[in-house]
């Protein structure tokens, strides 16, 4: 495991490279895309565990405004996830010479993975997305508004400040745009038909930020769906074995 920084599109991104001891030739590289309040550190040991379990190298990075990456200097636009997928992620893959990425995305990171996979020039071999957003639901907006109250109360801010150099920038950069009136109409449903690589979607039955309608939309376009009981918004924490098994099965579909 190597911690490093990469200069991408004028920003400095915090990165972690994982070299699996059992990595097999020809296997894809797992590229981890974090949630709306995530970072390299907030993934905890999930990337290392998954890379070790399936014998793949991995890359984890904090997007601009998160973790130890460059700070956010302006409000995020409604299409901030599209920019991450269309402009930033390709540069990250080029920087690390990753030709066969298997994207592992959580929440906002899952949406970014789906957008990237839909691009004509995508090099994604597959995507595993957890609690991804395909469109905005009231349940998500209600939960995000409640999260704002928890943050302003202080306890959540104290927990998050261990993972972000600029904790207020990370929080409000995410929270403000999600609660912006213009964001309510955001959707990527029209992009799903353009995804040609295998997709696995994992959703917790108790997810406080989304319903199974998100899964239904992806399943209608050929995604393999796992609906997990006793699981909230973070399947890799609540049901880590199920996530590992889903990844193993996904990799089997790629075997020659």
pLDDT tens sequence across 149-194: 999 999 999 999 999 999 999 999 999 999 999 999 999 999 999 9
Task: Please state the rounded mean pLDDT for residues 228-234.
Answer: 98
In our burial notation (b when 16+ CB lie closer than 10 A, e otherwise), range 7-43 reads ebeebebbbbebebeebeeebbbbbbbbbbbbbbbbb
d(CA 243, CA 130) in angstroms, rounded, equals 9
User: Does the pLDDT at position 197 exceed 90?
Assistant: yes
pLDDT, residue 21, reads: 80
Average of per-residue pLDDT across 68-79: 97
What is the tally of structural domains in the chain? 1
Name every residue whose Cβ is closer than 8 Å to that of residue 224 and which is 6 or more positions away in sequence. Answer: 198, 199, 200, 201, 246, 249, 250
pLDDT at 85: 98
Q: Residue 131 region, left (φ>0) first, then alpha (ψ -120 to 50), else beta?
A: left
Which candidate, 136, 110, 111, 128, places its Cα nearest to that of 213? 136
Q: Give the range among 29-38, 101-110, 120-129, 247-256 with minimum mean pLDDT.
A: 247-256
**pLDDT tens column, 24-48:** 778 999 999 999 999 999 999 999 9
Q: Which CATH number do you get for residue 245? A: 3.40.50.1820
Percent of all residues in the chain with a pLDDT value above 70, rounded to a whole number = 99
Phi, psi of 198, rounded to the nearest 5 degrees: -60, 140
Q: What range defines the domain where residue 82 resides?
A: 2-254
Which of 188, 149, 156 lies closest to 170 in space, CA to CA? 156
Mean pLDDT on 96-119: 98
Residue 201 tokens read as 């979607």
Q: Which pLDDT score is estimated for 96?
A: 98
List, for residues 90-107, the tens digit of each pLDDT value. Answer: 999 999 999 999 999 999
Identify the pLDDT of residue 25. Answer: 78
**Residue 67 confidence (pLDDT) above 70:** yes
């Amino acid at each position: 495991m190597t911690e490093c920084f990469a200069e991408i599109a004028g920003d400095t991104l915090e990165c972690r490279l994982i070299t699996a001891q059992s990595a097999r030739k020809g296997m894809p590289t797992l590229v981890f895309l974090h949630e709306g309040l995530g970072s390299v550190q907030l993934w905890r040991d999930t990337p290392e565990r998954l890379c070790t379990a399936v014998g793949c190298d991995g890359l984890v990075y904090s997007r601009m405004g998160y973790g130890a990456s460059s700070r956010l200097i302006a409000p995020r636009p409604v299409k901030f996830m599209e920019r991450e997928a269309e402009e930033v992620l390709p540069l990250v893959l080029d920087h690390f010479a990753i030709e066969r990425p298997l994207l592992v995305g959580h929440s906002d990171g899952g949406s970014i993975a789906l957008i990237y996979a839909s691009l004509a020039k995508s090099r994604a071999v597959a995507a595993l997305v957890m609690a991804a957003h395909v469109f905005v639901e009231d349940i998500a907006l209600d939960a995000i508004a409640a999260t704002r109250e928890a943050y302003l109360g202080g306890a959540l801010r104290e927990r998050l400040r261990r993972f972000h150099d600029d904790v207020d920038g990370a929080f409000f950069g995410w929270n403000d745009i999600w609660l912006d009136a213009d964001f309510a109409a955001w959707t990527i449903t029209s992009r799903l038909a353009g995804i040609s690589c295998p997709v696995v979607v994992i959703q917790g039955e108790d997810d406080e930020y989304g319903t199974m309608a998100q899964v239904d939309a992806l399943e209608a376009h050929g995604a393999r769906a796992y609906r997990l009981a006793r699981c909230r918004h973070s399947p890799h924490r609540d049901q880590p074995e199920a996530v590992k098994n889903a990844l193993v099965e996904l990799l089997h579909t790629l075997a020659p």
